[in-house]
Amino acid sequence: MLRTRLIAGRTSGLILSAVFASMMMLASQVEVVLEPLRVDPARPAPVTLRIPSGYLPPELSPHHRGMPEPLVIRRGEVVADPGVQRLVRAFERERRPPERRTLLGVWISYFLVAYIFLAYLRLFTGGRGGLLRTQSGLLVLVGATCMTAKLLLLFSGFSPFVLPLATVPLWAALYFNRGTATASGLVISLVCASFVNFSMPVVVVYLATTLGVVVFFHDRKHSTHVLVAGTAAGLFAALVLIVVALAAGSPIDVIGDLARLNQSALLSVIAGGMISGILASAFQRLATTALGVVTRSRLQDLTDVDHPLLRKMSREAPGSWQHARAMANLAEGAAAAIGADALLTRVGAYYHDLGKTIQPKYYVENLVAGEPSPHGDLEPEVSADAIMAH
């Protein structure tokens, strides 16, 4: 008996969402909860501290790119300016310890985001979206992306724009569909934006990058196209950032920004898209393992007529093999006509009657001319069971 894949339901959605919300709440509040991570301006900072621009007085709010920036105290940095020292101490004092209602609100927000995401997969993305393996695998990859982003924000001085958040949406577009990719991109963008207090430029870039890869990814037959889609999404997000800043009345000095090189916001945005594409291409084996999907190269191997199972079928059940090949041609054409996965359909048609190799003579297509059918000597119930067993 073949194992049946587990179908996700409301209960599994509640459990997965609760686990995800707990992990993300811990990630978002870790530097506030753990006292050793408190930033003392007179000592080397244990983590990178990013004070939102809205918290800063006008004289301390950087405007290098025409838009307000957070004040960044990098890991290992000692603050010398007395005014900045007072600001850092006040900021750390105000947010510690976090209030219970704040923690509860954060947890509920992450829970709702995850539950809506899983409900969307179950109800609107077709058969595979409703599988427990698909939902848990996607949520693990989304969670791992967000946790990695938080670690980079805490222990590096990298710009938030450079985070490779579009990797999972690229995998979702490659192995599932655009709807799944869009939903995963929205979840990653919202969760990671919460790590930087929903800074408007960051939110714009995250949404433009994670949703841009869905628009620019077209060629599922060549998995390396994720590199092109990632780079295109990075360029698109940089353009969106320029337009939004212009609309907000704080135009970016593009030439001046690009001249800053490693501190350039626009180059960081483009790099984030490119890195997403590189990671999506390099770690496809990890993605297929987590999601329980089969790569196109593996599907192509399965269509090779020299495959041991297909050779077994052609040798032991030649009539069924001819039937399977005819069905494969018809099904592949039908799949291509409606935009379905033609290669996956061909593989399914090739192997759908493999069980007939166990008792090939029970099926009329494997009988030679004049050969009697064994069903003539069987009770109807036994005959039906023998046919259904394949």
pTM: 0.85
Contact 146, 259 (CB under 8 A): no
pLDDT reported for residue 2: 45
Please give the Cα distance from 214 to 170 (Å, whole number): 7
pLDDT reported for residue 58: 59
Hey, what amino acid is at 182? T
Please give the Cα distance from 157 to 47 (Å, whole number): 9
CA distances (Å), origin 281, targets 8, 136, 232, 262, 349: 28, 22, 15, 25, 29
pLDDT reported for residue 60: 57
pLDDT reported for residue 66: 52
Structure tokens at 282: 């390099």
pLDDT reported for residue 383: 67
Hey, what amino acid is at 188? I
| Domain-wise residue ranges, the chain | 10-38+96-291, 296-388
pLDDT reported for residue 83: 85
Walk along the chain (390 residues) and give the pLDDT tens digit of each residue.
445 578 888 999 999 999 999 999 999 999 999 999 999 999 999 999 998 877 776 555 555 455 667 888 899 999 988 888 988 898 888 888 888 999 999 999 999 999 999 999 999 887 778 889 999 999 999 999 999 999 999 999 888 999 999 999 999 999 888 999 999 999 999 999 999 988 888 999 999 999 999 999 987 777 778 999 999 999 999 999 999 888 877 788 888 878 887 788 899 999 999 999 999 999 998 999 898 888 788 888 888 888 898 898 888 888 888 988 999 899 999 988 887 788 889 998 898 888 888 887 777 776 777 667 776 666 677 666 666 766
Contacts of 123 (CB under 8 A, 6+ apart): 130
pLDDT reported for residue 64: 47
